[in-house]
Structures are given as structure tokens and as C-alpha cells.
Structure 1
Amino acid sequence: MNLSAQLNETAKKFAEKPAYYFMGQASTYAELDGVITKFASGLEKLGVQKGDHIALLLGNSPHFIISLYGALRLGVTVIPINPIYTADEIGYILNNGDVKAVVALDLALPLVEKVHTNLPKIEHYVFCETKPESLVLSEIETLSVYPKMKSFTKVVASGDLTFQGSELKDDDTAIILYTSGTTGKPKGAMLTHKNLYSNAKDVGQYLKMNNDDRVVTVLPMFHVFCLTVALNAPLLSGATLLIAPKFSPKEIFALIKGQAATVFAGVPTMYNFLYQYPEGNTEDLKSLRICISGGASLPVALLKNFEQKFSVMISEGYGLSEAAPVTCFNPLDRPRMPGSIGRSILHVENKVVDELGEEVPVGGVGELIVRGPNVMKGYYKMPEETAAAIRNEWLHTGDMARMDEEGYFYIVDRKKDLIIVGGYNVYPREVEEVIYNHPDVVEVAVLGVPDPNQGEAVSAFVVSKNPELSKEQVLEYCKEHLAKYKVPTTIEFLEELPKNTTGKILRRALKTQVTQAVGK
């Protein structure tokens, strides 16, 4: 079984049930499945064949779902790309990913014009109309890329509802997800049909998703967290997607209340914004049966404050692109452990090992490694990096973790973010958890900075809601709750912390800012 085939089965079972709501419009499962089939057929008529690569430069919209599932039905490999990337970033992925066709909003056409001259392999640019077709045509007829332009609407219209799709094998590459590239250029994680289907199915079962659920889909669809947890798993379960094109606390509160949402998935920053939103109240979220957090570690103070304010449980999980992505979740049928990423989900094994690959004792800190049907087949055109990441069927995550006696895992920090102060290990998250507990702190990020005496020192960057809060007060607070070597030597107040499009705080970008500032 695969995502495309399962969606077709779901459409037969729940034909008249809404598959999604978007900007006041709805589509049933039967309608969605039909458009997907026609898009797949339309792509084939353009000359796109099984095994070709197609890129999606799309935000949260029905266009993304139709393009994704249509391409998968044809047997095409999909490469989702963040549409706000720069021309250079997009150009690199399109070139490295050997892309044959691109599906993009008409709003992205100026960006397409910038990159296409260096991408001779791309034969078609399918533009999704957000404006009247006549207006779009008048804008693109002067572009040099115009001869390769195709209308999304016309591609669908040209398709055949009787199209049967391609025969898909479990090990066929379904999606290539380019990682953020913490070192060097981004790497393309190749996820197979089996990877995606197994993880979506297992996550859906673990979270008890069903056809009565109404899932808020506001995380970026091009991101693997949304892709599996808030898109694929709900669609396989016959649930209804409540698609939000962007995150806004006011609009999310209104969407949840107005559409009686039952599931919300977000990153910690989203929960922080919702918690801080002055007009939000328990009544707005009373329809939710569960909130899901992932993408970054959720501060325990924020988890407790949010749950107390809104009377809804947050289940924190863990995943990474290379694992399609989920490996752990806090169970729904037993007590949740604050600060934990939960236990291994169905069919997935997690364990904590030392540098020799030996499992560490319960409570000991080591690298988290993962094995299961969700683990990628490798990095695209990068055999050496693949061999370094996957050893003896185990995916090495690069995250430091520990496991308790009940099998709950706790992320300590990224291996590369470890701060060594005079020979002592300091994990940034531990310091961040303490500072997050201060009532005046909204956000915090902790970094290691060079120190002539200790090798490294701890530095904290704080966003406060109290303009009167002083550096001295934060330091005193830290001294009360941390060992001396863990206490930050410097506290810097910022208006905001750098984040990516999912809202994840970017320590790397912050470190670059600090390095540049020191250099000046």
C-alpha cells in the first residue's frame, strides 16, 4: 500500500465527506481524488514520466495536496521547496535534485524567471493561478521562461479520470526532502513510498486519528512535520483538514472555534504565541481533544502554562526528515511525561548509544539512534554522507538523549550544540529550561561562545515582556537554579530571536550574528 492508493480507498469509503476546508471553500474526498487523478494524467500528457523529479514551490493550499498526490500517483518523485527561499537556494535544489518540472504559485514567477536560465533540465513550469488567468498571462508573456509555462487549471482539465496511475514499489523514491544544511549545502533525504505510508499510518494509529477528526493544518506543508502529522496521517484516516495559509494567533483561535477543530499540530513557537495572545481563552479551544508539538524541544514551563490556561493536553513527539519523520510520541493512554518526547511509536525502535555504538545504561546520556520502516533509503547522490548517517540499519540522529526506566526518551540537546566549559558538559536546553521558568521571559536561546580561560562560556539571548527586567536579575535567577559552571556569563536582550519558516529558533543564525558582532 502507498499514500496515493490509500487515499483512493479512503475516497471510496468517505466519498461525500469533506477532505479539506480552505478559505471558505470545501472539497469532498471524491472530488479531491478525482482532481488528483486528472492532474496525474495531465502531467503524463506533458511528458512527465514515472521516476522523473518534480518540485513544488507552494504554500499551504489545495494546490499542494493535488500536486503531491497527483505526482505520487504517476510515480514521480516530489521535491517540496520552501517558496520563500532565495533564488540561489532554490536554484541549488532544482539543479541538485535533477528536476524536470516545477509547480509554483503565479506569485513566484519572478523568482522562477531569475533561476530558470541556469536550469536547462526543467521542461515545464506549471503555475497555479491566484489571480484571473488573463491577468497572469499578461504578466508572463514578456518573460523568457514563458514558452515553458503551463496553467495548473489547464493541466488538470487535460487529464483523464480513467487514468490508472503507475505501478509503485515500496522502495521507489516518493519524496526528496532537502535538509536545512547545518553544514555545507542541503542534503536531499530520499523517502520511499514505504517510508511515508508506514509513518503516516503508524502516527495516525498512535494519535487515534479517525474520520471524525478535524485537523488544523497550519504548519508549512513543505515541511516533513506537517507532511506526515497534519496532512498524510489525517487523509489516510478520513479526517478533514482545516488548511490555514499562514500562522496568526487570532486566525487560529477563530479557525479552531469556528470549525470545531479536534487536533492542532504546531511547533513550540506557535504555542508560545498562542499562550501570549491576550484575547485567547479556554472557550476558543474547547473542541480540541489533543495538541501535538514537534520540530523543536518544547520548554516544560511553556507546556505547563499552556495546558493550565487552555485545559487541553499537549503531546510532544520527536522526528527528523530522514525518518519520515516521527520516531517518538507521548502516548495518549497513559500519563504524559513533561519534557519527554515520549516512547517509540509502532514499528520504530529508538535507543541511546555511546561513541562506540554500545547502548548506554538507563538514565545515561548518549546519541539517539533509530531503526524502522520509516528510515530513509539515503541522501540523494551522496553515498558517503549516507554511509555516515545509516550504520547497520540504524539512523544516527546527532541528537543527545537519555531514556528512563519506563522507556520514555528525553532530548538533552543537539550533539553539535554541546558547550564544554572547563571540561564540563553544558547542554543549552537545560539552561534554557531554567530561564524559560522566569515569569518575565518570552523566549530564550543559549549558545557556547569562545572563552580564553574555560574554552567556552555560556551565553543567553533573551526576549522579555518586561522592559524593566535586567541582566543582573536573570543571572541571579540562574544562580539559584544552576550549577556555577552552567550559569551564563553574559545575558543579551533581543527584540526577537531568528526563526525558520516553521517557527523553530535558529541557534546557528544567532551564532552567526554573534560572531559578526564580535568581529566588528
Structure 2
Amino acid sequence: MLYLRQMIKRCANNYPTKVAYYCGDHKATWKQMNERSDRFAVALQNMGFGKGSTVSIMTLESIEVYEHFYACMKMGAARVGVNTQYAWPEMKHVLKNSKTRVLLVDARVKSMVVEQREEIEDLGITLIGYNGEHDFAFDYEKLLSEATGEPEWPELAPDDLLLISYTSGTTGVPKGVMLTQRGGSDCVIHSVISFGFNPDDVWYMPAASAWVVVLMNCYGLGNAMTTVIPDGSFKIDTYLRDVGRFRVTVGLLVPTMIHRAITEYQTGQYDMSSMRVLVYGSSPATPKLIRDARESFKVQMIQTYALTESSGGWVTFLTEQDHKLALESEPELLKSVGRLGLHFDCSIRDEEGRPVPPGTKGEIWLRGTTMMKGYMDMPAETAEVLKDGWLRTNDIGQLDERGYLYLLDRQKFMIITGAVNVFPTTVEAVLVDHPAILEVAVVGVPHPEWGEAVVAVVNRRSTHQDATAADIIAFCNGKLSKQETPKHVVFVDELPKTSNAKVKKAEIKKWLSSEKGLVPWNTEIE
């Protein structure tokens, strides 16, 4: 098979002077990416690390993130990104669970490492600093300057580890998703084909690289196109400026980012004329948001659905033609995440694991070469989701007769109220059409009579701060059933989100369930 490390060499040989990455005022060509990752791999091998070692990185966004990852690819080491938003217990779990041997630390985020330095060194971890002043034993640039030649390339097998991507950690300890060499390679190749990328495209996905996003910012390995990455961290105004500055042609934003992008773009300060396609996914989008984005940005749109457990590989595609069909005659299609890519099989199953016919709701099971190897040192959890070559996604959905997949919700967020199943995304799709609502998250909160009650947590637009809970509940009349209509509305200034702009529903639910007075029926609960 063709491994990612071979693609690096080919990009460097065939497009040596072409820019591989832009990051703020910095850039690197394919030749530079290849040479610097070679030197880092040599340095690590000279220090005694090699195939099977886990080489981690804790950083803000920078080009060195990909030099580090490419070096890991070449020497057969597993790459781990340590989320800078984790508290120390979560960070320590990631370092121990992944069996990290080396930690590359961005000086901009060194404080946590400095505070816990003794514990980290007690784990036998070698610290390397970069991008500023530090007092770690090794300096990245010094190591590169002293390294010569090319690294040894150990033999690889398709099932060997490429990276371990840790979950966001909103509930319990983060789980390490083990992704393979074959999965990473197939993810890059199939994504380039399915999105229709060409070598002249400029790709910009501004999410944090601590998790599987790092692989999505390696799509250029499949065709030598240029990738833009955030400088440090994501900011919506910087993103929109970068689109014009680097002539971005294909961008990706998750729905919560699109809300903010539309508002910011309307200030008239930005040039998005180079962008031809806007990809969206990662969490459900409402039909209203899709319409607003098309009208604002004048771009083609592609909807996708993916999971960390599928190497971040996009499972479905709602194409531009699908969007046109939806807008012209079939609006219900906008609620779909599209049809399956040809590199996946999909089966909708009931609670007993039996396939159900088209149009029937059930759990989404997937099968394909990009699926994870399992969860790191979690055999029981792995056995629960991997069944005879299939991945149980814990997502609820249904397929129609034409193969369109409708993602209804995460199974863990489904609300059971008075013995009726309510899908939060169904409620959110209605509420977001209210003119006062900028963002909304719907969760189930324990209720003494109905088991759970539907609660909407709303961030109001600045121009509609006088909207009341009664206004919003009344808006649902005739649009939602009695069980689906929120029993209460809580107003907030901002919804809590992960570093990749996903709404932390588990955190919202815990907050509403545990703090007295937020919902009227738990004021007496101790």
C-alpha cells in the first residue's frame, strides 16, 4: 500500500517550491516540510526513539505541528496531540495512557508543563521545547540544526499505529482512539477524491490540531495542494481575512462557526471571492443556517458526516447538486447529511443489532478501511463498539430509499420524556428559525413526573435581548409536538464549546441538572 510518508517524499520531489502550509506570516514549501521532518526524525532516532514510540506534542497551531507529525510518519512513531484546554488530570491521563516517550512543547503554552514538570519527568518523558524561551533539556531548532542525513524507515504494516486521537474529555477520562497507517492513507486519498480537490486548491480547516483534525490538514499529501492553518488559535475575523489573503478555494466551518462567520462577513471588510466551496459538518446544521450561508457567501456547499473513530474520514457527502435540488424542489434534503462515500458500508440497526428497512430509525453502523483499531487500553469499550468488522457509532439515523442518510442525534443525547423519544436536533432545527435566537442547545433535564423534560438553552441575538421564554415556547406551536416543545428556556451569554467549536451538551445537561433554580421543577431537590 501507499503510506503517507511516501506521499511526503513525492510532494517534495514533484512540487519542491510550492507552498505546503501558510500560518499567519509563516509559510513552508513541500521541500522544506520534507527536509525539516527528516531532521526531526533523525534527531529522535539518535536519541533512541523509533517505531512504536509515542511522540506527543502540546501546542498552539503552528507549522511545526506538521513537521512533528511527518517525522512520526517516517519513523513509525505514534503521534499524540495533548489538548491545551485539558486540566492537568486529563493531560496526565493522556500522557500515561498513550505511553508517551517524548513531548514537544510550544513555549507559548509551557506553564502547565513547567508546573507539573516533576510528575512528567517521573513518567520517563523527554521534554523538547520550541517557539520561544524555555529551559527544557532539549531545544527543537538546535536538534534540527545538529541532525544530518535521512532517517531510517522501518518496515510498516497497514495495521500499525499512525496516531492516537483523544476525545474531547467532556465526560469521564478522554479515550484514546487508535488510528492506523492504512486508515490515515485511505482517509487522505478518499477525501481528496470525494471533495474534488485539485493541486491548485487552497484548503483551510481552522480547527484545533490536538485531535484527528491534524490528519485532515494533511490532505495536501494526496495532491500537493496548499493548506492554511490558524496562527495560534481560531478567530473568525482572522479566518475571513486569511481566506482573502491566501486566496482560499475550499474551506470548512462547523455550524457554530458559520453563525459567527455570517455575522462578521456582513460588516463588509472581507474578500471571499476566491472561495468556491464551503464544507460544513461535525455537528448537525439547520436548514436555515444552510440557506443563510449560501446567500451570504455565494459559494457551493458540501455537507459531511464523520467520526474520530473513522480517522476523521468523511463518511457521507451532501453534494452541491443535492443542495440545488433541495432548494429548488426537495427542502427535506437539507436535513440529510448526504449519501455514503464508496469507501464505506452503512447499516441501520435496531437495539438487538438487527438491520432495519429504509425509513426506519436506528443506530448507524459503519464499515470501512479507515476505522479505528480500538480504544487505547480499553478492551471492554472497544469490544462494545467494534462488532464483526462494523463500528457502532452511537448515532441515531435513518436511510431513505435513495441512500440519503439522516442523522437524527447522538444516542446519549436522546431525550426520553413521558416514554416518548425526542431528538434534540429536531427541536433545534425549529428553534433556530426564531429571529431572536443566535445559538441554541436542547437537552433533557431530569423531571420528577416525566423522567426528563426538554429544555432549550438559548443565546439571544444582541438586537433581540427582550425575547422571553414564553415567546420562544409559543413559537413552537404547530411546529413541534407537545412532547418536543421545550418545557423551559434558559438564557445564556454564550454556549460552552470545545476547542473545535462543538457545543458541550453533556456539560450543559450536568449544569442544568445539578444547580438549583435553573429549571423551575428542581428548586426543592437537594
TM-score normalised per structure 2: 0.92
Show the 5 A alignment for 1:306-345. 306-332=293-319, 334-336=321-323, 337-345=333-341
- Counterpart check, 1:492 vs 2:494: no
Cα displacement string for residues 57-78 of structure 1 (whole angstroms, at most 9, x for unaligned residues): 1222111000011112111111
Which residue, out of 453, 458, 461, partners 2:457? 461
**Equivalent residue for 1:10?**
11
Cα displacement string for residues 79-113 of structure 1 (whole angstroms, at most 9, x for unaligned residues): 11212322221111101111111011012322112
CA gap of 1:181–1:388, structure 2 versus 1, over 3 A, is farther
Structure 2 stretches lacking a partner, 5+ long: 324-332, 517-524
Q: Is the 8 A contact 1:209 1:234 kept in 2?
A: no
How much is the aligned-residue C-alpha RMSD, in angstroms? 1.7
Cα distance, 1:289 vs structure 2: 1.5
Structure 2 counterpart SS, 1:194: helix
**Equivalent residue for 1:143?**
none
Which residue, out of 417, 429, 432, partners 1:436? 432
Cα distance, 1:327 vs structure 2: 4.2
Cα distance, 1:479 vs structure 2: 1.5
**Equivalent residue for 1:93?**
94
Cα displacement string for residues 215-248 of structure 1 (whole angstroms, at most 9, x for unaligned residues): 1242112232x3233x121232211112212222
Q: Which amino acid aligns with 1:363?
A: G
Whole-angstrom distance in 2 between the partners of 1:283 and 1:92: 42
Q: Which amino acid aligns with 2:367?
A: R
Cα displacement string for residues 275-295 of structure 1 (whole angstroms, at most 9, x for unaligned residues): 122645597222112111122
Whole-angstrom distance in 2 between the partners of 1:416 and 1:252: 33
Whole-angstrom distance in 2 between the partners of 1:264 and 1:350: 27
Show the 5 A alignment for 1:470-481. 470-481=468-479
**Equivalent residue for 1:43?**
44
**Equivalent residue for 1:389?**
385
Q: Percent identity?
A: 27
Structure 1 stretches lacking a partner, 5+ long: 141-145
CA gap of 1:352–1:280, structure 2 versus 1, over 3 A, is farther
Higher mean C-alpha displacement, 174-183 vs 3-12: 174-183
Cα displacement string for residues 406-430 of structure 1 (whole angstroms, at most 9, x for unaligned residues): 1111110111111112111110110
**Equivalent residue for 2:414?**
418
CA gap of 1:265–1:223, structure 2 versus 1, over 3 A, is farther
Q: Which amino acid aligns with 1:169?
A: A
Structure 2 counterpart SS, 1:162: coil
Q: Which amino acid aligns with 1:31?
A: Q
Which residue, out of 166, 184, 187, partners 1:199? 187
TM-score normalised per structure 1: 0.93
Whole-angstrom distance in 2 between the partners of 1:14 and 1:278: 34
Show the 5 A alignment for 1:275-294. 275-277=262-264, 279-281=266-268, 284-294=271-281
Q: Which amino acid aligns with 1:167?
A: E
**Equivalent residue for 2:130?**
128
Cα distance, 1:326 vs structure 2: 2.4
Cα displacement string for residues 164-201 of structure 1 (whole angstroms, at most 9, x for unaligned residues): 42222211111111123465322111111001111111
CA gap of 1:184–1:278, structure 2 versus 1, over 3 A, is closer
- Counterpart check, 1:300 vs 2:287: yes
Structure 2 counterpart SS, 1:485: coil
Q: Is the 8 A contact 2:168 2:498 kept in 1?
A: no
Structure 2 counterpart SS, 1:209: coil
Structure 1 runs of 4+ with >6 Å offset: none
Show the 5 A alignment for 1:44-443. 44-119=45-120, 120-129=122-131, 131=132, 136-137=133-134, 140=135, 146=136, 149-181=137-169, 183-224=171-212, 226-229=213-216, 231-245=217-231, 246-277=233-264, 279-281=266-268, 284-332=271-319, 334-336=321-323, 337-443=333-439
CA gap of 1:117–1:86, structure 2 versus 1, over 3 A, is same
CA gap of 1:183–1:253, structure 2 versus 1, over 3 A, is closer
Q: Is the 8 A contact 1:189 1:321 kept in 2?
A: yes
Whole-angstrom distance in 2 between the partners of 1:124 and 1:166: 22
**Equivalent residue for 2:34?**
33
CA gap of 1:187–1:54, structure 2 versus 1, over 3 A, is same
Q: Is the 8 A contact 2:496 2:508 kept in 1?
A: yes
**How many corresponding residue pairs?**
504
CA gap of 1:469–1:383, structure 2 versus 1, over 3 A, is same
Cα distance, 1:384 vs structure 2: 1.3
Q: Is the 8 A contact 1:327 1:350 kept in 2?
A: no
